[in-house]
Amino acid sequence: MPAMTEPKLIAGNANQPLAKAIARRMSLHRGMSVNLVEARVERFNDQEIFVEVYENVRGEDMFIIQPTSNPANDNLMELLIIADALKRSSAARITAVIPYFGYARQDRRTKARTPISAKLVANLISEAGIDRVLTLDLHATQIQGFFDIPVDNLYAAPVFALDVLHTFRDRLSDLMVVSPDVGGVARARELAKRINAPLSIVDKRREKPGEIAEMTVIGDVTGKTCIIVDDICDTAGTLCKAAEVLMDAGATEVHSYITHGVLSGPAVERIRNSVMKSLVITDSIEATEAVRATSNIRIVPTAPMFAQAILNTWNGTSVSSLFDMETLTPIYEGLYSR
């Protein structure tokens, strides 16, 4: 679709720093100022969410930047209500930019009489008048099929690969990419291919949710610098235990690259005291003060990638081109200069 107007950004309260960073990157790309649309998103005394958009959006191509992270229900409702406000204000197209898609872990029925909440959320988003979704590293890629609207699922692997190649440039031959469970092998293999490293797996067996009964390393990690790759780190129990198991199996160092740093409950304290040398996360979820203050947690930006994806969506050009490191390298120029 040919672009007739400038893209316009609006943000909820879930991750204002990321929204502003995306606007700054788009300003650089466009050679003109791109600002967030002025609006107020607030709560009444009974915690009802109210949205008022102060600018004219009639006929505009709108992008709502709102991860549905903690508090998931509040942030989801903000997204839906902003979309309704824009739809009733005659916006031409509404794209939901959801860096972290909450409820994604409820993507199937694990036992009798349980919901598939990810499908319910997809229905809510579609019914709110949103025309397209742009997200990052869905927990299960088949969630794209839950939507009856187009979904572009970006991947953190190319950005992580750039970071790994820069950070470990003096010892690339010693690297071993590790999946913390069998279900994440495809995600780990993707990074391993990009950095030309071998792959190992930590097989875990759970007795019940939240508890890990046994972990076994599949593959020889002796003398290796291990890089654990996953999409979500919540309480960090599995991650820290996997790091210990790898060190016991002969690894020299363990680092982790996790897309979405949920980091709830005791997670930050566990990571601070872990044998892991570093945990690298993206800014898809706004970091708490505790996360920013932890020396072995590092945050890589997603704003350059999201800014380009928004511009490509607006222009009607390929978003999948951002899956390639060759495309992302100039976008991240300066951050990973050799």
**Ligand-binding site membership of 84 (annotated):** no
- What is the four-CA torsion angle of 223, 229, 232, 236, rounded to 10 degrees? 0
**Ligand-binding site membership of 253 (annotated):** no
**Ligand-binding site membership of 260 (annotated):** no
Stated length of the chain: 338
Q: Which amino acid is located at 151 in the chain?
A: V
Answer positive or negative: Cα dihedral of 51, 55, 57, 58. positive
Nearest to 330 by CA among 25, 102, 124: 25
Kindly list the strands in the beta sheet with 93-98, ordered across the sheet, starting from the edge strand earlier in the chain: 7-11, 61-65, 93-98, 132-136, 151-154
| 199-205/175-179 β-pairing | parallel
**Ligand-binding site membership of 144 (annotated):** no
Please give the full DSSP string across 16-51, using - where no structure is assigned.
HHHHHHHHHHHHHHHTS---BPPEEEEE-TT--EEE
**Ligand-binding site membership of 142 (annotated):** no
**H/E element holding 175?**
strand 175-179
Tokens 């076994």 — which residue?
Answer: 216
**Ligand-binding site membership of 66 (annotated):** no
**Ligand-binding site membership of 46 (annotated):** yes
* CB 285 within 8 Å of CB 17: no
What b/e sequence results for 8-39 when a residue is b if at least 16 CB atoms lie within 10 Å of its CB, and e otherwise?
Answer: bbbbbebbeebbbbbbebbeeeeeeebebbeb
- Both tokens of residue 307? 């800014």
- Both tokens of residue 173? 């031959």
**Ligand-binding site membership of 206 (annotated):** yes
**Ligand-binding site membership of 47 (annotated):** yes
Q: Which amino acid is located at 79 in the chain?
A: L
**Ligand-binding site membership of 55 (annotated):** no
**Ligand-binding site membership of 29 (annotated):** no
Residues tagged active-site: 204
Q: DSSP letter at 208?
A: B
**H/E element holding 261?**
strand 253-261
**Ligand-binding site membership of 181 (annotated):** yes
Annotated binding-site residues for D-ribose 5-phosphate read: 206, 230, 234-238
Annotated binding-site residues read: 46-48, 105-106, 139, 181, 206, 230, 234-238
Annotated binding-site residues for ATP read: 46-48, 105-106
Annotated binding-site residues for Mg(2+) read: 139, 181
